[in-house]
């Protein structure tokens, strides 16, 4: 996510530059993905300053997703005839937050009500097979459940550009069992961060679950 500022020069010309989005301290949606799919020690090192966060400034797919985010909102609105608000940060408690790409409203009217989380993604054109789509949703399932948890909304729309020729959105419903598993993991992980006690485990080891899709 980025913000932009317009610089006015003395000669009357203007220049627009991007201001990187600085994430708050705590556990956010991308952290949910890392906790579920990765090694906890890597995220622990990042949160305690032992390792620098991965710099995504020169990662083309990420920057394309950021650049097309507003267009993604507009395209989703055109397809669904539902209003999508701008990005928003919501705090669940003092260390769990969500930086949402937007919130979907029940209609285009001003008196409409929020009904869903909006998450914009841009992936390559070869992710359109049924198997690849399942894998793609599974990859971001923790993030979507995290955002539904902090926003208290019952569903999320994953709005996806596949290359530059195909578009789809996927509706994902809240999974309270999975959300409770997230909260249990967050509490344990953040306690380790605050106590500076390294924690070397994984999502499946922590919960004692077999190898399966997280969205099953």
Closest CA to 158 of 55, 33, 59: 33
Tens digits of per-residue pLDDT, 186-195?
A: 999 999 999 9
Residue 43 confidence (pLDDT): 95
Q: Mean pLDDT for the chain?
A: 89
Burial-class residue 139 by CB neighbours within 10 Å (0-12, 13-18, 19+). middle
Residue with token string 């949402």: 100
CATH number for 29-207: choose from 3.90.1150.10, 2.30.110.10, 1.10.10.1100, 3.90.320.10. 3.90.320.10
Tens digits of per-residue pLDDT, 86-121?
A: 999 999 999 999 999 999 999 998 789 999 999 999
Radius of gyration from C-alpha coordinates of the chain: 18
Calpha distance 38→36 (Å, rounded): 6
Residues with Cβ within 8 Å of 199's Cβ and at least 6 positions away in sequence, in order, are 40, 41, 44, 188, 189, 192
Residue spans of the domains in the chain: they are 29-207
| Reported confidence tier of residue 56, pLDDT bands at 50, 70, 90 | confident
**Joined tokens for residue 70:** 């507003």
């Amino acid at each position: 996510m980025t913000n932009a500022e317009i610089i006015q020069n003395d000669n009357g010309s203007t220049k627009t530059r991007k201001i990187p989005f600085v994430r708050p301290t705590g556990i956010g949606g991308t952290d949910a993905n890392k906790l579920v799919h990765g090694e906890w020690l890597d995220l622990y090192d990042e949160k305690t300053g032992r390792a620098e966060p991965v710099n995504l400034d020169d990662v083309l797919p990420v920057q394309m997703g950021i650049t097309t985010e507003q267009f993604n909102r507009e395209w989703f609105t055109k397809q669904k005839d539902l209003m999508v608000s701008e990005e928003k940060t919501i705090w669940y408690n003092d260390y769990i937050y969500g930086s949402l790409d937007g919130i979907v409203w029940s209609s285009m009217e001003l008196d409409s009500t929020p009904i869903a989380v909006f998450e914009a993604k841009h992936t390559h054109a070869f992710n359109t097979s049924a198997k690849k789509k399942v894998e793609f949703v599974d990859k971001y399932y923790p993030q979507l459940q995290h955002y539904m948890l902090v926003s208290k909304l019952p569903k999320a729309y994953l709005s996806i550009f596949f290359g530059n020729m195909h578009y789809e959105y996927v509706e994902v419903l809240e999974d309270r069992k999975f959300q409770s598993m997230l909260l249990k993991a967050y509490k344990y992980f953040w306690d380790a961060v605050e106590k500076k006690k390294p924690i070397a485990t994984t999502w499946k080891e922590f919960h004692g679950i077999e190898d399966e899709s997280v969205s099953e």
